[in-house]
Amino acid sequence: MSVQTKSSRVAVYYELTKPKIWYLLAFTAFGAVVTAASIHGVDVSVITWSLVLGSVIAGSAAANTLTNYHDRDIDAVMERTRGRPLPSGRISPPQKARDFGIVLAGLSLAMAFGISFTTTLEQGLWATGFIAFGLFNNILIYSYALKRKSWTNIILGGFCGGTPPLIGWVAVTTADLWTLGLAMAGLVFIWIPLHIWSLTLHFKSDYNAVNVPMLTAIRSESASARIIAASTVVMVAFSIAPFFITLESGEPMTGLVYVITAIASGVLMIALSGWVIASPSERTSWILFKFSSPYLSVLFIALMVDAGLRI
C-alpha cells in the first residue's frame, strides 16, 4: 500500500469520527480542567491532561463511529449524509467501521481509568463511569432505542453531551463536582436540543424521508420556530443561573466576566431565535445553527477567564 493510499484511508476514518463534534466536546473538557484547576489551585500534570483529552476524544469518536455504523441505511437516503464514508462505500465492509468504533471505545475507557494512576482511584473511577455512561447514552439510548421512534430522542439521548466537562472536572478534583461541575455539564446538555433542532428544521425533508421523528422535522415550521425559541430562552436562563449559586466554599460560582458574557451572548441567541419565529425557514434556522456552536465555546471561554481571575 502506497503512502498516499495510507494517508487517504486515515483521512476517511478520521472523517468517520465526525471531528467537528469531538473538537467541541474536547474543548468543554479542556474548559472544565482549566476552571477547576484555577478555582482549587491544582497543578494538572501533562499525563493527566493527555488522559483527559484522549479519553474524551476517543469516546466521542467511538460514539460517532458506532452511530454512523447503525445509521448507515438512512444516511444513504438523506441528501445531507449520503456522502459519509459508510453510505458512500469508502469504508467497506461496514463491519470495519464497527470494529474501529469498538476499539476506540475500549481506548477511551482505558484512558479514563488511567486517570486513577495520576490522581486518585476515586477520580479515575468517576471519569471511567462518565465515559461509560456517555457511550451507553449516545449509542444505545439515542441511536438504537430512540432516534427512529420518538421525538424525545435528542432530549433523553443528549445527556451524554454533558459528560466531557464532568470528566475534565473530576480529573482535577471532586470538590464542587455537583455545583459548578454539574453546571458546566448542564450547559452542554441544554444547548444540544437547540443546536440539533435548528439543524433538523433546515433539513426537515431529509429526516421526513427516512421517518426519523426529530421534533422540528415532524412539526410545522411555525411550531418548530416556537419550540426553538422556547429552548433558547431556557438555555439562556440556565446559563445565567450559576451567577446566583455558591460553591462549597461559599464563594459565588461565577463572576461578572462570565455573567456579562452569558447575558450578552444570550441576548444575541434570543434575537436570532426571534428571527426564526418571525421568518421560519431553512435559511434562518441554518443561521441560528451556525451561531450556536461558537455560543457554547464563548461561554466556556468566559468560565475559564472568570476562574483565572480568582487566582
42, 123 in Cβ contact below 8 A? Answer: no
Residues 231 and 116 in one domain: no
User: Domain end: 144, 175, 206, which one?
Assistant: 175
How many CB atoms are located within 10 Å of the residue 309 CB?
A: 12
Is pLDDT of 45 > 60? yes
Give 116 or 251, the one with higher predicted confidence.
116
* Rg, the chain, Cα only: 20
Residues 169 and 202 in one domain: no
Give the span between the Cα atoms of 247 and 173, in whole angstroms.
13
User: Which of 43-57, 101-115, 201-215, 274-288 is least confident?
Assistant: 274-288
Sign of the Cα pseudo-torsion (227, 233, 236, 239, in order) = negative
Residues 47 and 191 in one domain: no
Beta bridge partners of 252: 246
Contacts of 152 (CB under 8 A, 6+ apart): 146
Residues 142 and 266 in one domain: no
Residues 195 and 273 in one domain: yes
User: Domain end: 120, 143, 175, which one?
Assistant: 175
**pLDDT at residue 1, rounded to an integer:** 54
Is pLDDT of 3 > 90? no
Residues 141 and 200 in one domain: no
Most confident of 27-41, 215-229, 232-246: 27-41
User: Domain end: 154, 175, 196, which one?
Assistant: 175
Query: 3-state class of 81 per DSSP?
Result: coil
Residues 191 and 127 in one domain: no
Residues 8 and 123 in one domain: yes
Residues 171 and 217 in one domain: no
Number of domains in the chain: 2
Residues 2 and 65 in one domain: yes
At which residue does the C-alpha cell 470538590 appear?
175
Quote the distance between the C-alpha of residue 55 and its chain's center. Answer: 14
Instruction: Write out the residue range of the structural domain in which residue 267 sits.
Output: 176-311
**pLDDT at residue 7, rounded to an integer:** 73
Region 203-213 average pLDDT: 94
Residues 125 and 106 in one domain: yes
- Closest to 119 in 3D by CA, of 177, 194, 43: 43
CATH of the domain at 73: 1.10.357.140
At which residue does the C-alpha cell 478520521 appear?
14
62, 137 in Cβ contact below 8 A? Answer: no
Alpha helices in the chain (DSSP H): 3-16, 19-40, 46-70, 72-75, 95-114, 121-135, 153-156, 163-170, 182-202, 204-209, 215-218, 221-240, 256-278, 282-308
Residues 3 and 125 in one domain: yes
Most confident of 93-107, 214-228, 232-246, 248-262: 93-107
Quick: pLDDT tens for 69-127.
999 999 999 999 999 999 999 999 999 999 999 999 999 999 999 999 999 999 999 99
Region 243-268 average pLDDT: 93
Global pTM exceeds 0.85: yes
